Amino acid sequence: MKRLFRSRIDRKLAGVLGGIAQMLGVDSTIIRVLFIILLFPTGFFPLAITYLLLMFVMPNEEDVYR
């Protein structure tokens, strides 16, 4: 079972997109590009707020493997 967590190694801001990429098994650059592309048609705020919420809800990688 794959678990969702914030990446400790593959992080630019908080590791949210890196953790999603690890869970899906894809390159994190693809997830980051899709996130940036989707920011503009959604009006920026829905995805930005979702990212901020995930920063607080998703556990860190080191907390998952203790």
Print the SS3 string covering 34-65. HHHHHHCCCCCHHHHHHHHHHHHHCCEHHHHC
Mean pLDDT of the chain: 88
Q: Is the pLDDT confidence value at 32 over 70? A: yes
Task: Express each pLDDT in 6-26 by its tens digit.
Answer: 888 888 889 899 999 999 999
C-beta separation of 5 from 57 below 8 A: no
**How far, in Å, CA of 66 to CA of 52, rounded?**
24
Domain borders along the chain are 1-59
pLDDT at 53 over 90: yes
66 pLDDT above the threshold of 60: no
Q: What is the pTM (predicted TM-score) of this model?
A: 0.84
